[in-house]
Structure 1
Amino acid sequence: TLPAEVIEVLLATKEANPKLSVQLVIRETLKHRDVPDDLPLPPSTVHRLLARHGLMSGSDSQDTDTDRRRFAFQSPGQLWMSDVMHGPTVRIKDRSKRKTYLIAFIDDATRVIPYAAFSLAENTRAFLPVFKQAIVRRGLPERLYVDNGSSYRSNHLSLVCAKLGVALIHARPYRPQGKGKIERWFKTVRGQLLILPDQ
């Protein structure tokens, strides 16, 4: 059972910033002067506490893994997934505002991120340098699983993958199955990097 003062800090932290993940709520709570630094705060316990008080949204309180595909790879490099997350708007050199996009890859078996980078565009030209850096760091994957977005539906990408010997797999339209793993990583990025930019 958690001490009453700790429960109060946990609830207040989540109420002050509802978008914080459970892990970030714990991290912020442990910074509070009334909470011992070494106090065990199991994420499952904190999640139940927040849920009981109605502080967990539907997307937070449910497993967001929509990966119901019949294949599940066991070895690194057998399958990479790639997706794009819409990032913050930034000012560039001429002081104009531009939308950013986070292009990322994840290894299906290990959950390792071979590489990820922000870009000012969401297209094949922006995608390929990120793909190259992922390969430089982790080697060639056997398969690349992507959705049907414009970044991935290009003859150029198909040709590149064919030359590299990488099987390019497109998700079926309107059924982005298998994206749960990388979507969870994007959620972590939003929760830890974009919500608290000063930390």
Structure 2
Amino acid sequence: MNEKERNTKVAVASIRLAIIQPAFNHTYPDMTKQAYYERISEQPVKLPDGREVIYSPGTMSCWESDYRKGGFDALMPRDRADKGKSRRLDADAISAIYKAREQFPRLTATGIREKLIADGVIRACDASVATFQRFIKKQNLKGASAPGQRDRKAFEEEFCTGMYQGDTLYGPFIKENGVRRQTYCIMLLDDKSRMIVGGRFFYQDNAVNFQQVFRDACATYGIPAKLYVDNGSPYKNVQLSLICGQLGTVLIHTPVRDGASKGKVERNFRTLRTRFLDRISRDSLNSITELNRMLADYIRSHNTAIHSATGEPPHTRYLRDLAHVRMPQSRQWLEDCFLHRVSRKVRNDATIILDRTPYDVPMEFIRSTVEVRYQPGDEKHAFLLYDGKRYPISPTNKTENSKVCRKQNYYVNYGGEGEV
């Protein structure tokens, strides 16, 4: 399995987790779990490759059972045994069905099938009338009544930590050690309470820095049921999808080029700029550490002041929902959830390359593809995970390796008979 296929499977697993999460946490608005699954099954699900499919309630229930038994990895799709073989309706037939429905809105399923046969798209024996009827019944082939118009409604999570919203704000330039550099403020906001659960300035706006803010927020205020971020590279990557899967958090991305969809966090940044950034003297800043110390004071003031939208302090709202807050099992468990995962092929000299640095691995993994887990910036504590067991690895020291006696699996007698 190459990296692209693995990323696709992670994206599919994230979609499945988003579907079953209300049932798993018993937060569905329907009378029963079955009623929730039946309602969700009426809507097509858009997959990472652009296809839209409809899943049955039984399939969704199986996903929930798999997740309870095997966690996020159990939600990743497995390769079909008949992969590569033809289906009843292939991509060309489905495309032709959509085109025929658009050209002839009143044409029945039987008529569409006969047209595809006449056009040479399919043979009569490829698919029955019942196959076409089921497909057309399950697929929503009608166009939108008002294309281009977005349906928006004001919303709020039922409980605190139901959703964290995250984004990045361009900060001031700081001249530190003789170098003038741009800063970036990465911030997380709790949807229900409007409490700032994480915020820090960095010199880079990247995935590792966002994950650091997210990890600290989970450790301090709890693990969110959902994480709502935009489509930038710090927020849309396979490592963040894996982290959210381990935490049991549904990762949601905003529509592309739709700033209004993340109004709460944008409004928070507007307040941050007018009440904090515009009031500090940029020339007096000597380090990013000083800027972060000032930001921490602002966050404490924000979280304990009355919020104009809710009429009460964010921290008060959060404390009222403590019974619904899911804290990490332990600090070590949380650290393990945020470990990065990469696949590497072990070379014949029992080494792998991680971040352009060779590492020694146990020789039994030679020529095998292994999964390496590590904390970015702390690769010296990286390890292999195989069958639930950890195997430590270490940076290759060729000088020391030259002094190590190798284990030989055979004996060669260079002397004559009876000689050693």
TM range (shorter): 0.5 to 0.7
Per-residue CA deviation, residues 32-90 of structure 1 (Å, 9 max, x unaligned), is xxxxxxxxxxxxxxxxxxxxxxxxxxxxxxxxxxx934643121011110010000011
Q: CA deviation at 1:182?
A: 1.2
Match of 1:103 in 2: 186
1:120 pairs with one of 203, 209, 229: 203
Query: What CA distance in whole angstroms lies between the structure 2 residues aligned with 1:75 and 1:151?
Result: 27
Aligned to 1:68: 152
Query: Residue 69 of structure 1 contacts residue 177 of structure 1 at CA under 8 Å; is this kept in 2?
Result: no
C-alpha spacing 1:149/1:81, structure 2 compared with 1 (3 Å): same
Q: Is 2:230 the counterpart of 1:155?
A: no
- Secondary structure of the structure 1 residue equivalent to 2:273: helix
- In the alignment, does 2:165 pair up with 1:81? yes
> Aligned partner of 1:109: which letter?
K
Q: Once the 2 structures are TM-superposed, how far is the Cα of residue 176 of structure 1 from its aligned partner?
A: 3.1
CA contact (8 A) 2:197 2:221 kept: yes
Q: Give the 3 Å change call, closer, same or farther, for CA 71–195 of structure 1 in structure 2.
A: closer
What value does the CA root-mean-square deviation take over the aligned residues?
A: 1.9
Q: What does residue 174 of structure 1 align with?
A: 257
DSSP-derived class of the 2:261 partner: coil
Determine which structure has more spread, i.e. the larger CA radius of gyration.
2
Of the candidates 184, 191, 198, which is equivalent to residue 274 of structure 2? 191
Report the Cα distance in structure 1 between the residues aligned to 2:159 and 2:257, rounded to whole angstroms. 28
1:133-162, CA deviations, whole angstroms, 9 ceiling, x for partnerless residues? Answer: 111111100000000011111111111111
Cα displacement (A) at 1:122: 0.8
Mapped partners of 2:261, 2:161: distance in 1: 16
- State whether residues 255 and 261 of structure 2, in contact with CA within 8 Å, keep that contact through their aligned partners in structure 1: no
Which has the bigger relative contact order, CA under 8 A and spacing at least 6?
Answer: 1
Structure 2 CA distance for aligned equivalents of residues 132 and 190 of structure 1: 25
**1:91, distance to aligned residue in structure 2 (A):** 1.7
Runs of at least 4 residues of structure 1 off by over 2 A? 67-72
8 Å CA contact 1:145–1:170 kept in 2: the answer is: yes
Instruction: Please tell me whether the aligned partners of residues 171 and 177 of structure 1 are also in contact (alpha carbons under 8 angstroms).
Output: no
In 2, distance between residues paired with 1:171 and 1:70?
Answer: 15
SS of match in other structure, 1:153:
coil
Q: Secondary structure of 1:85's match?
A: strand
Residue in 1 aligned with 2:221?
Answer: 138
Q: CA deviation at 1:194?
A: 1.4
Contact 2:254 2:262 in 1 (8 A): no
Q: Which residue of 1 aligns with 2:13?
A: none
> So what's the TM-score if we normalise by structure 2?
0.30
The 1:69–1:146 alpha-carbon spacing in structure 2 relative to 1, beyond 3 Å, is farther
Report if the CA contact (8 A) 1:80-1:107 is conserved: yes
Which letter maps to 2:189? I
Q: Which whole-Å deviations, capped at 9, do the CAs of 1:90-148 have from their partners, x for residues lacking one?
A: 122x3211111100111111101111111111110111111111111111000000000
- Distance in 2 between residues matched to 1:170 and 1:69, nearest whole Å: 17
Q: Which runs of 5+ in 1 are unaligned?
A: 1-66
2: CA distance, partners of 1:115 / 1:122: 15
